[in-house]
Amino acid sequence: MMAFASPFCRSSAYDYPESLMSHPRLCCIRSVIGLILVSMCPLIQAQEPSDPAVRLHQLFDADWQRLMAENPTWASSLGDRRYNQQWEDASQAAIEASARETRKTLQLLDQIPLAELSRSDQLNYRLFKQQCENRIADHELQLHFMPLNQRGGIQDQSTLADSLRFDSLQDYEDWLARLQAFPVYMDQTIALMRRGIETKMLHPKVVMKRVPSQIRQQIVERPEDSLYFAPFKKFQTELSDADKERLRKEAAKVIGNQIIPKYRLFLDFFEKEYLAESFDEVGCWQRPDGHAMYARLAKKFTTTNLTPQQIHNIGQSEVARIRAEMQEIQKQVKFKGSFQEFLVHLRTDRQFYYSNPNDLLKAYKECCRRIDPRLPDLFHRLPKAPYEITPIPAQMAPDTTTAYYMRPAADGSRPGRYYVNLYRPQDRPIYEIEALSLHEAVPGHHFQIALAMELEVPEFRRYGGYTAFIEGWGLYSEKLGEELGLYKDPYSKFGQLTYEMWRAVRLVVDTGMHSLKWTRQDAIDFFKQNTAKSILDIENEVDRYIAWPGQALAYKIGELKIRELRARAEKELGDRFDVRDFHAIVLRDGAVPLDVLESNVNEWLTKLKQKNAGVQPDWGQFRGPGGRGIAETTLPASDAIGPEGSSLLWRAAVAKGHSSPVIAGDRVFVTANDKKRLSTIALDRRTGKVIWEQDARADKLESVHRIGSPATATVAANSQLVISMFGSCGLWCYDHDGNRLWHLPMGPFNNSFGAASSPLLVDNRVILVQDHDTDSFLAVYNAATGDRIWKAERPNARRNYCTPCLWTVDGRRQIVVCGSAHVTGYDYETGDVVWVLRGVCRVVSTTPVVGDDNHLYLACTGGQETEQPVFAEVLQTSDGNNNGVLEPNELPKSPIRSFFDQFDRDASGTLDNVEYNSIRDIFSLAQTVAMRVQPGGTGDITDTHVAWSTKQNVPRNSSPVCHDGLMFMVRDGGICTTLNQETGELLHRARLVDSGKYYSSPLVADGRLFALSERGRLSVISAEAEWKRLGQADFKEDVYACPAAADGCLYIRTAGHLYCFGRAQK
């Protein structure tokens, strides 16, 4: 049994990559996916984009296009019709050129800095590099000199038509053109095989003896009886009678004059030259450096460092374990006799077999109908692509295995196909049907591969994978039969054990023949001693292993790893284990190497155990995780929250400050300003007692607004560090015990209203934006040392108070900053501007948020649109002293005159053209707006990526919150508005408890929205479209800080206190 990602691949039976598992008959044509070829390399080198992620994905895309060009039959089967008239170029010159391109690809890949890629792209990089290296190694082994074996090759190319669409006249013309190109393809194949004779890269005679009869299937008296003629026998689309007749005549001509003669020539070459040179013994060890070759193939297919001997020993152990379980079944059915006699009974008793192939096919279909409805019991998500059950083509059935699977077409034109072997049904046990269907169809190969095709990953991963994962999952799926209500009959359970034993036996006989010099008969005998498989199946299987060294090892090794990981999860999670969650994490990234799979599961277990233990995500920055204002926690009842509420756990007196509380570990952090004394304060999360307080000394601070505070910026914290920001006093870094680690002075900043933007702490980096009247910037610092990593000047930005947010788009993080009529996306790694959006308010106090749909949402008002005359016009009418610049007394009364000092960058007392236009652009573009921004833009996205915008009900200071498809905005006057996130449609608008001003941004938690007015009035409403009031409270002190929530507790900071409310009763 075998799953394959490509219905066609070219050259040898081994030169397919782990990313492209082949059909047993098609893997024999050299898989040029194994040759990552970069036809666009000159383009990549010429452009040299600075973004490593862009360069990486350009490399992936170039590779894929080259791959399609080099594999025209595979491209056709995926639905890419550009190469429908071609066969692969199987010449040795093309093979060598492909290998050179693979090496060039690796060189390009090595130039991309891995450390600067996102986590997902680091995985893409690693898998891509591994596959390239595998193909180079395979090429050096000269596996391409064995372009066919008994399971597939040029002798069976006619079946390509089964994978293609014939729904237009052009499709038939293309097939005709492909037939006309066949003779060159045959000549190239024979040339490769002759080189195989010269280099001793050959298969054993015992398997190659099967090929002549396959070749003879293509040598017919009448061209109309050729398998290549099949598409012209029954047209699948409406064509004129004239076209049909012409196509049939031309096809018969090319088949009769070119294809059949070439097969006669091929048969003569095969029987008179090639077969005689094939090895008399079996085993990879006979080839040049054969032991090393086999060890490498074993490593490649299992994705482990296990040696052939270690794998052999694992197989022997598994055989013993499974045999003991099989003997228990023998006792259960009360069979009297030895185990060997029981196996003979199963092979020969006719009750276990059908005599009619149609009955066997019907039984397969009925089994799958029983499995399908039970899948939601074990999986959260099902694949979109359907599958069908179809017989293996008759000409190949005698020489191939019991079943195999073909993936759906990439364009959706063909479902997945579960091929079943109906040849000699009297030799195919009924009790194997359930296990076989679980493996090949669902939840096995079709389920896993179709889901992988839906992933947003590069094509080489979407259409590829690793044998150990793909086949390990297929074998693991057989074990799921009991959970799906199958194996109720003991013989069906024995069938599952038979298939599991089959894979364990593979570990023994594959290593035995290719490493330990077992004979074919040794392998057959070991198989017969331990399984009830029919002799026909056993011989076909052993011959498959002979022709395909190492591939069969992957099944059991992969299944053992998945079972090991599940057992670990069940043990560590206990009754909290949900098999659907486990399956989701296993299938999340598609088919990956086993070490990557183990890492994914371990990471999932760690997070889940923390959550189950009550360790919830901290609230480590302004507005919590992602700056979204959303807490995943359960909070006290609405009427229990208030200064004297029953859920009050503690209240701590704190000095004045506008910073919001931050929760990390067992600490709560705030900043304060008491009589020009700036301080960072750590309180005990459980009791509210002050643990430490550290001063940030400053000789002089910039002035602040009458309601402002030098302690407005919220700290950023993680499990180790606390970062505070106090305007010109700069950044201060402490550990959780209050030890100062570093201080980075800043300023002095030119801003009469003070600094308010809060730092972010991400991946051991501090992100800080400071927009002032001059010298505005965005910078990233090393959190451990304070050293600057990069700095992006913001010359056109003036005073703003927006905290940045992170937005991940296409696996690449961006820092989004809103201010001075513009929203800008900066690359997280480099500081380069990715995109700019024009037309927001002039002075921004709110922070944009990323919704759970990965769109950007923002709402801001502060300075309206005011069209100003251009510099030349003002100069012409107002430049009294004709010095070519403008002085304050020369300007007419206007916003530009009012804000003259902010834009006089060089403090010269004049505005030149650049300075004037800078302020003019801001005032001309500025507008009150709320909007939804689509991801994926570059450059100026003003006209391309704004999904919707509105000027109604927009807040000035209170940032929006997006939850469950809704966008909530709270503006001054206490007006709370809900919009449909996707469309911007106004759904509801009503007034909260207090009609005053709102500087604090709302929090959504536990299905409720919490909003605090400047006067300290709390409104609790339902977080739904037509929200309802659920509670209120009056804290009787001013409130400028945002509420925070974590681990079942709500934190509210007023002008003089910090409150903690929890589920425990006071």
SS3 of 934-986: the string is CCCCCEECCCCCEEEEECCCCCCCCCCEEECCEEEEEECCCEEEEEECCCCCE
Q: Within a 10 A sphere around the Cβ of 336, how many other Cβ atoms?
A: 7
The residue ranking higher by pLDDT, 276 or 882, is: 276
| Residue 410: Cβ-neighbour burial (10 angstroms; 0-12, 13-18, 19+) | middle
What single-letter DSSP state applies at residue 6?
B
Q: What is the pLDDT of residue 675?
A: 73
Q: What is the pLDDT of residue 32?
A: 32
Q: Is 55 helix (H, G, I), strand (E, B) or coil?
A: helix
Q: What is the pLDDT of residue 158?
A: 94
Given a cut of 90, is residue 351 above it in pLDDT?
Answer: yes
pLDDT band at 452 (very low <50, low <70, confident <90, very high): very high
544/294 Cα distance (integer angstroms): 15
Token digits for 353?
């077999």
Given a cut of 50, is residue 129 above it in pLDDT?
Answer: yes
Given a cut of 90, is residue 181 above it in pLDDT?
Answer: yes
What single-letter DSSP state applies at residue 882?
-
The residue ranking higher by pLDDT, 608 or 739, is: 739
pLDDT band at 612 (very low <50, low <70, confident <90, very high): low
CB neighbour burial string for 664-687, b if at least 16 within 10 angstroms, e if fewer: bbebbbbbbbeeeebbbbbbebee
pLDDT band at 89 (very low <50, low <70, confident <90, very high): very high
Q: What is the pLDDT of residue 546?
A: 97
228/155 Cα distance (integer angstroms): 11
Given a cut of 60, is residue 222 above it in pLDDT?
Answer: yes
Centroid of chain to Cα 1045: 30
Give 1049's strand partners: 1046
25-48: per-residue pLDDT in tens?
333 333 333 333 333 333 334 445
925-966: per-residue pLDDT in tens?
778 899 999 999 999 999 999 999 999 999 999 999 999 999
Angle at 670 between CA 668 and CA 675, to 5 degrees: 145
Given a cut of 90, is residue 880 above it in pLDDT?
Answer: no
Which residues are CB-contacts of 328 (< 8 A; sequence separation ≥ 6)?
none
211/207 Cα distance (integer angstroms): 8
355-378: per-residue pLDDT in tens?
999 999 999 999 999 999 999 889
188-211: per-residue pLDDT in tens?
999 999 999 999 999 999 999 999
Q: How far is CA 1046 from CA 623, 665, 696, in A?
A: 11, 11, 28
Q: What is the mean pLDDT of residues 456-464?
A: 86
851/742 Cα distance (integer angstroms): 35
Give 693's strand partners: 681
Helices 579-587, 594-612: axis angle to 10 degrees equals 140
453/941 Cα distance (integer angstroms): 30
Given a cut of 60, is residue 23 above it in pLDDT?
Answer: no
815-827: per-residue pLDDT in tens?
999 988 889 999 9
Q: What is the pLDDT of residue 921?
A: 67
Q: What is the mean pLDDT of residues 431-443?
A: 96
Q: What is the pLDDT of residue 119?
A: 79
Contact of 2 with 420, CB cutoff 8 Å: no
Given a cut of 60, is residue 336 above it in pLDDT?
Answer: yes
Q: Within a 10 A sphere around the Cβ of 1031, how many other Cβ atoms?
A: 19
Q: What is the mean pLDDT of residues 644-663?
A: 95
Contact of 11 with 456, CB cutoff 8 Å: no
13/921 Cα distance (integer angstroms): 65
Q: Is 262 helix (H, G, I), strand (E, B) or coil?
A: helix
In 415-464 the beta strands, taken as DSSP E runs, fall at: 416-420
Q: Within a 10 A sphere around the Cβ of 237, how many other Cβ atoms?
A: 11
pLDDT band at 659 (very low <50, low <70, confident <90, very high): very high
Q: What is the mean pLDDT of residues 1015-1029?
A: 96
Mean pLDDT of the chain: 88
DSSP of 16-48, one letter per residue? --TTSPBPTTTTTBB-GGGS---TTHHHHHHH-
Which residues are CB-contacts of 156 (< 8 A; sequence separation ≥ 6)?
25, 26, 214, 395, 396
Q: Hey, CA dihedral for 167, 173, 178, 179, is it positive or negative?
A: positive
Q: How far is CA 148 from CA 27, 134, 186, 255, 537, in A?
A: 8, 20, 12, 22, 21
Q: What is the mean pLDDT of residues 425-445?
A: 95
Q: What is the pLDDT of residue 474?
A: 96
Helix (H) or strand (E) holding 400: none
| Residue 515: Cβ-neighbour burial (10 angstroms; 0-12, 13-18, 19+) | buried
Lowest mean pLDDT among 3-12, 298-307, 782-791, 980-989: 3-12
CB < 8 Å & 24+ apart, contacts of 1030-1038? 1030/638, 1031/637, 1031/638, 1031/639, 1031/641, 1032/993, 1033/641, 1033/642, 1033/643, 1033/645, 1034/642, 1034/643, 1035/642, 1035/643, 1035/1059, 1036/643, 1038/1014
What single-letter DSSP state applies at residue 362?
H
Q: What is the pLDDT of residue 908?
A: 80
Contact of 857 with 949, CB cutoff 8 Å: no
Q: What is the pLDDT of residue 21?
A: 32
681-723: per-residue pLDDT in tens?
999 999 999 999 999 887 666 677 777 788 899 999 988 899 9
Lowest mean pLDDT among 273-282, 670-679, 883-892: 883-892
Question: Which domains does the chain carry?
Answer: 3-203+205-278 (no CATH), 298-575 (no CATH), 629-655+964-1066 (2.40.128.630), 659-755+758-799 (2.130.10.10), 871-924 (1.10.238.10)
Percent of the chain at pLDDT exceeding 90: 70
Given a cut of 70, is residue 11 above it in pLDDT?
Answer: no
pLDDT band at 490 (very low <50, low <70, confident <90, very high): very high
Q: What is the pLDDT of residue 610?
A: 64
pLDDT band at 341 (very low <50, low <70, confident <90, very high): very high
